Structure 1
Amino acid sequence: MTLKIAICGGGISGLSLALVLKKFMAPSKLSVDLYEAEPTFTEIGAGITVWHRTRSVFASLGLQAALENRALSPPMTLRKSDTKEPFVFGALVTPHGCIALPRVDLVQLLVESLQIDPMPFLTIHFSKKLVSYDQAADGVTLHFADGSSSRSDVLVGADGIGSSTRRTMYADLAERVAQNDPAKADSILQSAQPTWTGTYTYRTLLDREKLETVSPQNVMLGGGYLWCGSGKHVVSYPVSSTLINILFFDSIPGGLGKPLPGPSVVAASKDEVVELYKDWEEDLRVVAENIGNVSKWAIRHIRSLPQYADGRVVLIGDSAHAMSTHKGAGAGQAIDDSYVLGRILAHPKVTTENVAEAFKVYDAIRRPVASEALECSLRTGFLYEFHPDYLPTGTDVEKLHAGDRGELKNVADELQDMSYIHWAELPGREWERALDMLEERL
């Protein structure tokens, strides 16, 4: 019997899932409709880092060489920069390294990989924005903004932080308990709302040749850097031989969890960035004065979502666990979601009758891992900014801000220890645990 799968969202998670299904699922068992809200595949954001966990997924799909041919491997050096006398205080040494590339290149790689061979099981629909769905015992009916609808056996919500899939799922969950427990219903609805991390980031790409012309000895030309300081930090690394990806972060005291005071993304000017970093080291101020177009993003996350699946509907990527931008956590976890979920759907025992039980296995395996990555990403950003609530126990905050090498080494060691999430347990092991659970339950 053919399993009819609807994937809403043609970003990194949705495209990755389609690739995993293509690799591991028998075409005779599979029918996939991929719905993308935009007229074509697009990706917002500039650069992205890809770590060992994610590369192991690409290797299983036969794409590792193609990915590495497009990428560079920047070392990431920790630098205390909120001073006129900056200095290096450590480096993040990552087993297996990481690679970097523009996000649009990663999307292009996924699209090209889907198009290599004829795929009769896959139909792609553009300009199809999901508004809501209705779930019944035998399937899911999807409703789109253009007034059309379609039906599938299952729905995978890969529709990002503003996910209509998540909104409908949690409205349904709340409605089921509202009559008997209104407070619980309200809590369910609130848990599905993105919240502000309290941090803004200014994103831009800088032409390397331009920086070499105006500042030929600039530290940023030497590789990947984490420019650390009180209340702010900068991440920079090359994403090609000609472009440097730069993110300027600015954290608002007490902003974590507070309502967002304005839109989540706006155009910004370099003057804002220059003002924010006017008291920082010279090399960074020169960079700020020479950036071009810049966008200002309010970093939001979906913290501790209580479940990723409900019946025949399941969430992956940012729709389930949007997180801070540090260490490529969000995109990496999205690809890991897609790998584990795709392997589960491809399992020969999974059918239209028991797919809801299979989705419980996905939830049990992936939600704890993604939740840990979310908290790790959040803490990483605050450690770069020496936030007192996130520093190692026993830190002398005054000495740290004054540049004490011992205190800074403790921060560097803590950041190094937290990096384990990128290589400790690979998605292949998560799939093995999921397989054991499937064999027990189905």
Structure 2
Amino acid sequence: MPSFEVAIVGGGLCGLSVAIALKNRSIPFTVYEARSSFTELGHGINIGPNALEAFRLIDSSLGEAIYKLCTRNAPGKEDVWFQIRFGAPSGKHHDGELIMELMSPPTGNMTVIRNELLQLLAEMAGLERARFNKKLVELSQDSSGVTLHFADSTQAHATVLIASDGIHSAARRAVLGASNPATEALYSGMGAYRAVVPMSVLSSSIGHEQARTSQIYLGPGAYVIMYPIERGKKVNVGFWPWRREPWHLREWTLPGQRIEMERDFAKWGATVHKIMNVMGDPSFFATHHHTVQPESLVEGRVCLIGDAAHSMPPHQGAGAGQAMEDAYVIAELLSKVDRQKPIQRQIDAAFKGYEAVRKQRSAKVAETSQEAMDWWTGFYNEDVSDEKIEQFTREADEKFRWIWHDDIAGQARSAIKIMEQLLEL
């Protein structure tokens, strides 16, 4: 084994992005994936300005490659993140009326199919450094590094471990312990009725303009989101109500929830009812996230990143971007570790630099993502005033600009500076 070897647990979008970043920096690594292949479930994933910039910093060719995979809004609306509209009549405002266009140049609402993006990342990372059917069950550490214990009774050893194994992170559980309140993701008190609808069907129902451009509808006690996917052939739709009662089910997805959806959105306007009419019998997905965060994202030679570190509700479309920022910053720090004679002091300094820069920002994004559900669902009433619309428009720009337009390369420089200062002590 090389003197410096990085183990990456979890071969999802975050883990493979780390792998590409390490490969480009000539750092030896192995990806350990619990499944038999690299596979991502789900449909579209949003790529905002910060996520695209992080991909470019990870690998300069990734940005252009992702552009080729992505679906964007209709011509002339490419820089629109979402058009935000009334989901029901309100005073002088009619159903479907445009409240504002929230702009996010240069990406707008770029979407890519999760599995298509994963296959691109897997190709760039290289399958030769992947080990499949490796379900992590335990970790142990000593002065030489980390030993990974898998369900198939095999083991692997590495200098450091980067845990990117998602919201159900086995590495997080191994580090924190099963009884720690920060270990398990908990129900968020909300969820979504989800469906994928053919673009032609939705266009016939509500018109091409709204169907072809990403939309958010605000109405009584909920919000509706939809955006084009698969090069504009289909539309991903999510109806987001509160469901505050406790979630006792083991599964997070309930199939066949049309009756419940119609009940929750009965008081909405004609446009949303037309969308419901073409959704079939959708499932309800109960969102979960880590409501309690660990005191540290680092334990010895183990570092948590992505959803393993800071899972969050999707109400700002920010989870993927935070994972990519993590991947870039940790790779830049690891590139500063002596690869022939890595010592604990260097690793400690690198991880402290990572945590000093990334923990506060990702925690703030996670917190505001939870708060955004209240913001989206709290806008509507039966007579929304002009003053409230003006306030909402100002808040919209404030709520997203700091997420989209942070200096990601500057994050890495700050983390490296902290690392270097610690090593000078």
Q: Report deviation, 1:216.
A: 5.7
Residue in structure 1 matched with residue 216 of structure 2 by the alignment: 226
Give distance in 1, aligned partners of 2:316 and 2:302. Answer: 29
Q: Are 2:261 and 1:280 equivalent residues in the alignment?
A: no
Query: Given the alignment of the two structures, is residue 375 of structure 1 paired with residue 372 of structure 2, yes or no?
Result: no
Partner residue, 1:4: 5
Aligned to 1:52: 49
Contact conserved, 1:78 with 1:226, CA < 8 A, in 2?
Answer: yes
- Corresponding residue for 2:331? 342
1:244 to 1:92, Cα distance in 2 relative to 1, 3 A: same
Q: Which moved more, 1:222-231 or 1:315-324?
A: 222-231
Q: Which residue of 2 aligns with 1:65?
A: 64
Structure 2 matches for 1:291-330, cutoff 5 A?
291-292=279-280, 294-303=282-291, 304-330=293-319
Alignment correspondent of 2:38: 41
Q: 2:236 and 2:206 mapped to 1: Cα distance? A: 18
Given candidates 123, 134, 138, the residue that maps to 2:129 is: 123
CA distance in 1: counterparts of 2:148 and 2:283, whole angstroms: 33
| Maintained 8 Å contact 2:195/2:236 | yes
Name the SS for the 1:236 alignment partner. strand
Matched residue SS, 2:121: helix
* 1:248 pairs with 2:239: yes
| Counterpart code for 1:441 | L
The code of the aligned residue for 1:211 comes to: L
Q: How far off is 1:218 after superposition? A: 6.2
Q: Deviations over 1:364-421 (max 9, x none)?
A: 111001011111212222211017xxxxxxxxx8xx5422232133123212211113
The percentage of aligned residue pairs carrying the same residue is 27
The 5-angstrom pairing of residues 7-406 of structure 1 reads: 7-24=8-25, 26=26, 30-60=27-57, 61=59, 62-74=61-73, 75=80, 76-83=82-89, 85-86=94-95, 87-98=97-108, 99-115=110-126, 123-171=129-177, 189-213=180-204, 215=205, 217=207, 220-239=210-229, 240-253=231-244, 259-262=246-249, 263-292=251-280, 294-303=282-291, 304-349=293-338, 351-353=342-344, 354-386=346-378, 400-406=381-387
Alignment-mate amino acid for residue 165 of structure 1: A
User: What are the Cα deviations for residues 86-125 of structure 1, in whole angstroms up to 9, with x where unaligned?
Assistant: 122222122433312222222122122224xxx8xx5211
User: Within 1, Cα distance between the matches of 2:254 and 2:135?
Assistant: 22
Deviation at 1:137? Answer: 2.3
Code of the aligned partner of 1:234: V
Q: Pairwise CA RMSD of aligned residues?
A: 2.2
Q: Which moved more, 1:237-246 or 1:267-276?
A: 267-276
Unaligned runs of 5+ in 1: 173-185, 388-396
> CA, structure 1 residues 328+109, in 2 after alignment: closer, same or farther (shift >3 Å)?
farther
Instruction: Indicate conservation of the 8 Å contact 2:352/2:419, yes or no.
Output: no
SS in 1 for 2:181: helix
Q: CA deviation at 1:230?
A: 2.7
Give the match for residue 413 of structure 1: 394
Partner Cα separation in structure 1 for residue 295 and residue 219 of structure 2: 34
Q: Could you give the per-residue CA deviations for residues 253-286 of structure 1, whole angstroms, max 9, x where no partner exists?
A: 5x6xxx5332322333434333322321222212
SS in structure 1 of the partner of residue 152 of structure 2: coil
SS at match of 1:78: strand
Shift of 1:40: 1.1
Instruction: Check whether the contact 2:55–2:324 (CA below 8 A) recurs between aligned residues.
Output: no
The alignment partner of 1:364 has SS state of helix
> What is the rounded CA distance, in whole Å, between the counterparts of 1:266 and 1:330 in structure 2?
23
Assess, with a 3 A threshold, how the Cα gap between structure 1 residues 383 and 205 changes in structure 2: closer, same or farther: same
Structure 1 residue identity aligned to 2:101: A
Tell me the distance in 2 between the aligned counterparts of 1:114 and 1:378.
33
The amino acid across from 1:138 in the alignment is S
Please tell me the residue identity of whatever aligns with 1:420: R
Any idea what SS the aligned residue of 1:268 has? coil
Q: Deviations over 1:311-333 (max 9, x none)?
A: 00010111110001123211111
Contact kept, 8 Å, 2:89 with 2:382, in 1: the verdict is no
Question: What TM-score comes out, normalization by structure 2 length?
Answer: 0.88
Corresponding letter in the other structure for 1:383: W
Aligned length: 402
Per the alignment, in what secondary structure is the counterpart of residue 228 of structure 1? strand
| Aligned-partner Cα distance in 1 for 2:197–2:278 | 8
Runs of at least 4 residues of structure 1 off by over 6 A?
none
Does the 8 A contact of 1:10 with 1:34 survive in 2?
A: yes
